[in-house]
Amino acid sequence: MFFKLLKEALKVKKVRSKILFTIFIILVFRIGTSITVPGVNAKSLEALSGLSFLNMLSLVSGNAMKNFSVFALGVSPYITASIVVQLLQMDIVPKFVEWGKQGEVGRRKINQATRYIALVLAFVQSIGITAGFNTLSGAKLLTTDLTPQVFVTIGIILTAGTMIVTWLGEQITDKGYGNGVSMIIFAGIVASIPEMIHGIYEDYFVNIPSDRLTSSIIFVVILIIAVLLIVYFTTYVQQAEYKIPIQYTKVAQGAPSSSYLPLKVNPAGVIPVIFASSITAAPAAILQFVSATGHDWAWVRTAQEMLSTTSPTGVAMYALLIILFTFFYTFVQINPEKAAENLQKSGAYIHGVRPGKGTEEFMSKLLRRLATVGSLFLGVISILPIVAKDVFGLSEAVAFGGTSLLIIISTGIEGIKQLEGYLLKRKYVGFMDKTE
């Protein structure tokens, strides 16, 4: 079905241009991920492959961190800045609340503020990870003398790289297909799949005694079946909808008197997982810098442990962040007050529910239930591979396999639906043109 849809889409010039533009931007991003920052020995990071903080940053940056490239931070600072701005709009800072009500003009002001905050976060985070990794890596990350000028230069390069990646993501959103941030992360994850498969092959077929080969084959087969089941379950839940029956009091002639309002079972999508990964990476970089500068206080070690997915507290903290962001983003995506107001303006009401305040309370209650289901789903899929890694001794690459899987499936579904919507719209417009 996908290939048939893609074949139909490629026949349309505008759709073909959008797809080719998206591929071009992703290609530019992938080229940037292979350009290592000057004065850095990227191979020294191989000694830190078991560090959860590094793997988390690699995931959010589209695996650009492993090369310590000019795009090493990826869109992590921008995502963190977006979270901060969205929080400020919730009756915390009046100016941001005012901008949120100004439509397109306010949206541009909010986007500008988000970029400025991302700029500051990127610079702080870049110096933090540079100092931290330089201290932790056995071969030393920096090949030059450790001077403030070196750190500032690397900070400027990485910050500029972050802003370029953010701009590339915005170009995909405006002129290509899908959400730009998700597509950037998606491209990095897909590019790392061959390496992950090769690592599993090395671990279970090459670097083992011959008498254990049969058991390794059985284990890999079971692992593949488990992955396929998780893919099926994840795809099913991500597409599942809860349909709310609605009726119309005033309808145009020939229009149906009743319909339904579809809500996703997981309204927040995969954004909470990306949020949780980014919000974990940013403070971890700052704590790493504090520890690397010789301030190895007890509270710093405690905080690092809480943010590390190699410890039970870190796993629990990661799951808690996913749950909190799921509830937060669900109500950001769907405002019960505005939903009730829009239904009332269109002359519609939910069957058995009073319009206005009653509809708002009904929507709030329903969204809390859906967010509960969505948060448990996202939490389980994200944490399951981390737990499996510790229990079965799997490679570190498997740890964030659940998070990667969620991003790949969600981005893929979003892209397919966008293609379907555009082709349906084109057929509708073509039909209208013929009837005129």
Quick: pLDDT tens for 173-223.
Answer: 888 887 788 888 888 888 777 777 777 777 767 767 666 666 777 877 887
Instruction: Tell whether 128 and 191 lie within a shared domain.
Output: yes
Instruction: Tell whether 72 and 144 lie within a shared domain.
Output: yes
pLDDT at 257: 57
Please, which residues have CB within 8 angstroms of residue 144's CB and are 6 or more apart in sequence? 39, 150
Residue 418 within any structural domain of the chain: no
Residue 416 clears pLDDT 50, i.e. is over it: yes
Residue 244 C-beta-side C-alpha neighbours within 13 Å: 21
Cβ(103)–Cβ(110) below 8 Å: no
Q: pLDDT band at residue 160, thresholds of 50, 70 and 90?
A: very high
Mean pLDDT: which of 254-268, 335-349, 388-402 is highest?
335-349
In what helix (H) or strand (E) does residue 212 lie, and over which residues does it extend?
Answer: none
Quote the distance between the C-alpha of residue 305 and its chain's center: 23
Q: How far apart are CA 6 and CA 11, in angstroms?
A: 9
**Residue for token digits 């009073």?**
354
Residue 421 within any structural domain of the chain: no
Q: How far apart are CA 307 and CA 276, in angstroms?
A: 11
Range scoring the smallest mean pLDDT among 17-26, 49-58, 323-332, 402-411: 49-58
Percentage above 90 pLDDT, the chain: 2
**Residue for token digits 């800045």?**
81
**Range(s) of the domain holding residue 60:** 1-206
Name which of 434, 427, 420, 429 is nearest 178 in CA terms: 420
Residue 126 within any structural domain of the chain: yes
Q: How far apart are CA 56 and CA 50, in angstroms?
A: 11
Residue 140 within any structural domain of the chain: yes
CA 178, 179, 185, 186: dihedral to nearest 10 degrees?
A: -20
Cβ(185)–Cβ(407) below 8 Å: yes
Instruction: Tell whether 160 and 289 lie within a shared domain.
Output: no
pLDDT at 159: 92
Instruction: Name the domain count of the chain.
Output: 2
pLDDT at 432: 46
Instruction: Tell whether 179 and 326 lie within a shared domain.
Output: no
Residue 327 within any structural domain of the chain: yes
List, as one string, the DSSP characters of 321-368. HHHHHHHHHHHHHS-HHHHHHHHHHTTEEETTS-TTHHHHHHHHHHHH
Cβ(9)–Cβ(19) below 8 Å: yes
Interhelix angle 271-292/357-392, nearest 10 degrees: 60
- Read off the pTM: 0.76
The string of pLDDT tens digits covering residues 68-83 is 888 888 888 888 888 7
Cβ(53)–Cβ(287) below 8 Å: no
Q: What is the mean pLDDT of residues 398-421?
A: 77
Range scoring the smallest mean pLDDT among 214-218, 365-369, 409-413: 214-218
Residue 101 clears pLDDT 80, i.e. is over it: no
Percentage above 70 pLDDT, the chain: 78
Residue 36 sits in a domain of what CATH number?
A: 1.10.3370.10
Mean pLDDT of the chain: 78
Instruction: Tell whether 212 and 237 lie within a shared domain.
Output: yes
Which amino acid belongs to residue 155? G
Q: What is the mean pLDDT of residues 112-131?
A: 86
Name which of 326, 331, 305 is nearest 316 in CA terms: 305
Q: What angle (nearest 5°) sits at the alpha carbon of residue 372, between those of residues 318 and 114?
A: 55
Residue 350 clears pLDDT 50, i.e. is over it: yes
Q: How far apart are CA 235 and CA 228, in angstroms?
A: 11
Instruction: Tell whether 156 and 172 lie within a shared domain.
Output: yes
Q: How far apart are CA 172 and CA 264, in angstroms?
A: 24
Task: Show which of 174, 206, 238 is a domain's final residue.
Answer: 206
pLDDT at 431: 45
Q: How far apart are CA 204 and CA 208, in angstroms?
A: 6
Residue 59 within any structural domain of the chain: yes
CA 128, 130, 131, 132: dihedral to nearest 10 degrees?
A: 80
Cβ(280)–Cβ(307) below 8 Å: yes
Cβ(410)–Cβ(267) below 8 Å: no
Residue 425 within any structural domain of the chain: no
Looking only at the bridges linking them, the beta strands covering 241-248 and 348-350 are antiparallel
Q: What angle (nearest 5°) sits at the alpha carbon of residue 297, between those of residues 293 and 303?
A: 100
CA 290, 296, 299, 301: dihedral to nearest 10 degrees?
A: 90
Q: What is the mean pLDDT of residues 217-238?
A: 84
Instruction: Tell whether 259 and 191 lie within a shared domain.
Output: no
Instruction: Tell whether 305 and 402 lie within a shared domain.
Output: yes
Q: pLDDT band at residue 318, thresholds of 50, 70 and 90?
A: confident
Q: Does 289 or 366 have the greater pLDDT score?
A: 366
- Number of separate helices (H) and strands (E) present in the chain: 15, 3
Instruction: Tell whether 9 and 112 lie within a shared domain.
Output: yes
Instruction: Tell whether 213 and 359 lie within a shared domain.
Output: yes
Residue 102 C-beta-side C-alpha neighbours within 13 Å: 14
Q: How far apart are CA 14 and CA 30, in angstroms?
A: 24
Q: 32 is written with which tokens?
A: 């940037």
Instruction: Tell whether 197 and 211 lie within a shared domain.
Output: no
Q: How far apart are CA 184 and CA 161, in angstroms?
A: 13
Backbone angles phi, psi at 350, to 5 degrees: -80, 135
Which amino acid belongs to residue 73? L
Q: pLDDT band at residue 425, thresholds of 50, 70 and 90?
A: low
Instruction: Tell whether 142 and 13 lie within a shared domain.
Output: yes
Residue 427 within any structural domain of the chain: no
Residue 132 C-beta-side C-alpha neighbours within 13 Å: 23
Q: pLDDT band at residue 434, thresholds of 50, 70 and 90?
A: very low
Q: How far apart are CA 161 and CA 38, in angstroms?
A: 13
